[in-house]
């Protein structure tokens, strides 16, 4: 039995402008103990999918289970298995950090939970904030409390929706160390993030969503291997020759060009030399998840490549 199972999930919103299909026949499973990444551009349907999993939204069609429990028919059991860290930085201004955690624990019927609450406060660096009112906390501290709230009832499945958006480096590290530890202890983790290096470093498997459809679903290693494996990176102030410009990814002065093999690297360099482009800090490296992501998002309309289901 998978930890999480999405079966032919569709979601249609009726708006003033007509119907909007947020999710279109999404199916995949997340195994127990997996660290799973859900990636996609803004508006791809990631949060909608997670909201359906959490019971915040309802699917128009299809079925979702958590540890075998249907999120609609058996919602109480399904929600006990889930800990959700929401994307928005929300809090209840009436309570302190410890009160917030005790209340959240109580909702799940878990009483006398202070040992675990203390451990959460320690792991997330919140020990000295336990008595502070939620209003007094900085954004990063509030984010930590959100994580603690999601974990307070010891759920086997943890869902993190963009947990590191706008978060400083220190918290990111604290958070990932803690989540990785929980994952090693057997917790299943579902993560959505915009930081692709985080997904590449942490996730065993990755699904990519675009306009409500799954456009890629594979092990992270396979996704990295299945695409153009070499990237030519350099800095320049000159314009690229017209034959290279369309395939280049330009970020400020940094230019990245895909190459499938050594011969193609030579061809690219020859073209640059011929166009008298002054190249600085040239390096040849492996493609990373960002390259894969961009390639898949651009190619999503075209027929399926290896390891990519359209």
Partner 1 sequence: MNFDGAGTLFKKEVLRFYKVSFQTVAAPVLTAVLYLLIFGHVLEEHVQVYPGVAYTSFLIPGLVMMSVLQNAFANSSSSLIQSKITGNLVFLLVTPLSHWAWFAAYVGAAMLRGLAVGLGVFLVTAAFAPPRLEAPLWIVVFAVLGAGMLGALGLIAGLWAEKFDQMAAFQNFIIMPMTFLSGVFYSVHSLPGFWQGVSHLNPFFYMIDGFRHGFFGVGDVSPWTSLAVVGTSFLVVAGIALQLLRSGYKLRH
* 40 near partner 1, rule: CB under 8 A: no
Binding segment (CB under 8 A) for partner 1, from list 76-84, 205-213, 249-257, 270-278: 76-84
CA 213 to chain centre: 16
* 77 near partner 1, rule: CB under 8 A: yes
Q: Which residue stretches of 230-306 are H helix?
A: 262-274, 289-299
Taking the least distance from each CB to partner 1, the nearer of 95 and 275 is: 95
What's the token pair of residue 7? 């079966």
Q: Which residues contact 117 (CB under 8 A, 6 or more apart)?
A: 98, 101, 102, 105, 148, 152
Task: Restricting to residues 98-117, name those near partner 1 by CB under 8 A.
Answer: 99, 103-104, 106-111
Whether the Cβ atoms of residue 120 and residue 168 lie closer than 8 Å to each other: no
Q: How far is the CB of 55 from partner 1 (least distance, A)?
A: 6
Q: Which residues contact 84 (CB under 8 A, 6 or more apart)?
A: 50, 54, 150, 159, 161
Report the residue from 8, 19, 56, 245 that binds partner 1 according to the rule CB under 8 A.
56
Report the residue from 2, 33, 55, 62 that binds partner 1 according to the rule CB under 8 A.
55
* 94 near partner 1, rule: CB under 8 A: yes
3-class SS of residue 128: helix
Q: How far is the CB of 182 from partner 1 (least distance, A)?
A: 18
* 303 near partner 1, rule: CB under 8 A: no
How far is 72 from 64, CA to CA, in rounded Å? Answer: 8
How far is 126 from 119, CA to CA, in rounded Å? Answer: 10
Backbone φ and ψ for 101, nearest 5 degrees, come out as -70, -40
Token look-up 């909608």 returns 48
Task: Restricting to residues 140-169, name those near partner 1 by CB under 8 A.
Answer: 149
**Residue 79 forms beta bridges with which residues?**
none
* 75 near partner 1, rule: CB under 8 A: yes
Taking the least distance from each CB to partner 1, the nearer of 104 and 192 is: 104
Q: How far is the CB of 58 from partner 1 (least distance, A)?
A: 6
Q: How far is the CB of 12 from partner 1 (least distance, A)?
A: 11
Q: How far is the CB of 154 from partner 1 (least distance, A)?
A: 14
Residues at the site binding partner 1, with contacts judged by CB under 8 A: 13, 54-58, 75-77, 79-80, 82, 84, 86, 88, 90-95, 99, 103-104, 106-111, 149
């Amino acid at each position: 039995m998978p930890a999480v199972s999405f079966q032919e999930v569709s979601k249609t919103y009726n708006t003033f402008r007509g119907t909007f299909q947020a999710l279109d026949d999404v199916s995949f499973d997340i195994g127990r103990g997996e660290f799973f990444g859900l990636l996609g551009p803004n508006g791809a349907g990631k949060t909608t999918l997670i909201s359906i999993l959490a019971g915040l939204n309802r699917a128009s069609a299809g079925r979702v289970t958590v540890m075998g429990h249907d999120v609609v028919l058996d919602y109480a059991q399904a929600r006990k298995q889930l800990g959700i860290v929401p994307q928005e930085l929300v809090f209840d201004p009436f309570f302190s950090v410890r009160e917030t955690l005790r209340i959240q624990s109580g909702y799940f019927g878990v009483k006398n939970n202070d040992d675990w609450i203390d451990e959460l406060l320690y792991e997330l660096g919140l020990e000295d904030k336990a008595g502070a009112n939620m209003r007094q906390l900085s954004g990063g501290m509030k984010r930590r409390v959100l994580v603690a709230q999601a974990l307070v009832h010891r759920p086997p499945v943890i869902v993190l929706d963009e947990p590191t958006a706008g978060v400083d480096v220190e918290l990111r590290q604290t958070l990932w160390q803690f989540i990785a530890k929980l994952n090693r202890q057997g917790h299943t983790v579902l993560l959505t993030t915009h930081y692709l290096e985080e997904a590449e470093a942490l996730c065993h498997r990755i699904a990519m969503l675009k306009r409500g459809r799954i456009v890629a679903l594979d092990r992270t290693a396979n996704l990295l291997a299945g695409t153009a494996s070499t990237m030519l990176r350099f800095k320049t102030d000159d314009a690229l020759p017209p034959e290279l410009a369309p395939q280049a990814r330009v970020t400020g002065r940094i230019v990245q060009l895909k190459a499938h093999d050594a011969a193609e690297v030579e061809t690219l360099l020859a073209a640059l030399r011929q166009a008298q482009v002054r190249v600085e800090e040239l390096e040849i490296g492996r493609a990373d998840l960002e390259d894969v992501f961009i390639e898949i998002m651009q190619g999503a309309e075209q027929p399926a490549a290896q390891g990519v289901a359209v």
